[in-house]
Chains A and B, each alone.
Chain A
């Protein structure tokens, strides 16, 4: 058992290390941050949601740091796009931490975190599942992937303040990446996730960035946004548990290494289908907890600063 000084609960050290290892393994395997799994699991274990969310952002700083360095060395990231995403993310993070504090004061933070998770995980899990299953089916029939359709002009092309993104080979308005960065910043602060699971598909399908720079750019943005979010949570809400974060980081780093190695031996479609199943399972568990009759109809919320 280890006592967590900010969460003010005692948890089994090996359970936490194992969790970090397991989620780190998944994140290495699938190339995702794992925050969307770790934050709900910490809450299931009895860590106060506010502490779970803010501590998880601290852990993501470490995992995105090592990821971003690797992509920086390979030059597979678009720094200019990343900086614009970060500018959006700074505003999003500041707004998110304020919203978080207000929700905490009104006793609705748990509900909003759970609803956000159910909504996002449900949509993304379903999309991923459909996509990866159709890919597996297509491969079984040995047919060629459908030819990419020539992109049409969308409302994004009509926006002003255009600039050139040399690495991504794009000439587009700065408004969509700013808005995307803002959204990801809010999510980081509210949900304790890096937001890669939103940012990566959005960059590919909405911003139409080349796939090879998307992951690196996303990690680059996540690094700065989660670092800022951690500092803001610590300063505004005093909810970052450094002991818990350290344990999760150690487990996560080792797990990510193992996952990345194992991932080279498995096929991509099966991997994505597996991740989609995990996402859907976490979503269903959270949805069940929201809808099922609680064991006690009353909740006690300690009023802070008294």
Chain B
């Protein structure tokens, strides 16, 4: 409670300062405003990394009873190939690949209440909030057509099967803790202060993460605030990874040299005994 309030109060002060400073030209006061910050904005992956837990603190100015807050953290995008296993001669074989472009490597959504209770479907879809609304586009299987007189309808070549593929992506990511949905994960403290826990699993991908805070009123977001964080490899882990990818040949030779030396050392020790 104390830990939560102090940084959040500082945020409130920061928000309030510019508004009171300019009394000559009063700015158009928006309905509500959000400030947010994370306890860490850089997460380092070192040799003992086994996941991380951060807290997103914030303040919603103009928060009224009945308003809700949703926090969405989206990780760096990667391309993904999803394959369906099929039994061939008694053995399960990967088949029918579908290529998904720019899939978020991490996706966490936390909210004050279950999403469907305070937000309209179209608002969730448009802002991609919630596990059913994660962006999963498979450009190779999609065509844009005019259907029933409506232009620009996205049609999938593989029909209803694409639904299974999309569900499989979310299910697999959720299993490794990379896709999380926590209704009730945003805690409103007092006077518009709130906090949400962000749990990064050991398999967290490296890159830039965006944390978006949405303030919902009457089913639609009336204020949005983005803050970001970066997950980086650090220390020896980073040096090793960089060497392996930037100078792969030198890295391979180094690996062999180390192995040869330790093998030789072992045989020397062996002879002494």
Contact in complex: A235, B252 (CB < 8 Å): yes
Q: Is the interface of B mostly helix, strand, loop or mixed?
A: helix
22 A-B residue pairs with Cβ-Cβ distance under 8 Å, sorted by A, are A2-B47, A2-B48, A3-B45, A3-B47, A6-B240, A6-B244, A9-B202, A9-B203, A10-B51, A10-B202, A107-B81, A107-B94, A227-B256, A234-B249, A245-B259, A246-B258, A253-B266, A290-B92, A298-B82, A298-B164, A302-B81, A303-B99
Contact in complex: A230, B255 (CB < 8 Å): yes
Q: Tell me which of B7-15, B114-122, B167-175, B209-217 binds A.
A: B167-175
Q: Which residues in window 56-101 of B have CB below 8 A to A?
A: 78-85, 90-94, 97, 99
Contact in complex: A245, B91 (CB < 8 Å): no
Q: Which residues in window 212-234 of A have CB below 8 A to B?
A: 227, 230-234
Q: Which residues in window 230-273 of B have CB below 8 A to A?
A: 233, 236-238, 240-241, 244-245, 248-249, 251-256, 258-260, 262-264, 266-267, 270, 273
Min distance, Cβ A35 to any Cβ of chain B, angstroms:
13
Most chain-B CB neighbours within 10 Å: which of A10, A232, A250?
A: A10
Contact in complex: B80, A300 (CB < 8 Å): yes
Q: Give 6 nearest A-B pairs by CB, closest first.
A: A65-B263, A234-B252, A298-B168, A231-B252, A61-B259, A62-B259
Known contacts A294-B85, A302-B80, A234 near B47 by CB under 8 Å: no
**A240 contact from B237, B244, B270, Cβ within 8 A:** B244
Known contacts A6-B241, A107-B94, A300 near B169 by CB under 8 Å: yes
**B48 contact from A3, A253, A257, Cβ within 8 A:** A3
Most chain-A CB neighbours within 10 Å: which of B45, B94, B99, B273?
A: B94
Give the interface size class of chain B: 35 or more
Q: Is B50 an interface residue (CB 8 A)?
A: yes
Known: A10-B49, A62-B260, A110-B94. 9 other contacts (CB 8 A): A3-B46, A9-B202, A61-B263, A66-B270, A107-B83, A235-B249, A290-B91, A296-B172, A299-B83
Q: Is A64 an interface residue (CB 8 A)?
A: yes
Residues of B within 8 A of A (CB): 45-51, 78-85, 90-94, 97, 99, 164-165, 168-169, 171-173, 175, 202-203, 233, 236-238, 240-241, 244-245, 248-249, 251-256, 258-260, 262-264, 266-267, 270, 273
Contacts of A65 in B (CB 8 A): 259-260, 262-264, 266-267
Contact in complex: B91, A3 (CB < 8 Å): no
Interface mask (A90-116 → B, CB under 8 Å = 1, otherwise 0): 000000000000000001101100010
Min distance, Cβ B205 to any Cβ of chain A, angstroms:
8
Q: Is A206 an interface residue (CB 8 A)?
A: no
In Å, the complex CA distance between A59 and B97 comes to 34
Known contacts A63-B263, A66-B267, A111-B94, A230 near B252 by CB under 8 Å: yes
In Å, the complex CA distance between A306 and B91 comes to 31
Residue in A closest to B101 when the chains form the complex, CB atoms: A306
Most chain-A CB neighbours within 10 Å: which of B165, B236, B252?
A: B252
Contact in complex: A249, B262 (CB < 8 Å): yes
Known contacts A238-B244, A298-B82, A302-B78, A230 near B259 by CB under 8 Å: yes
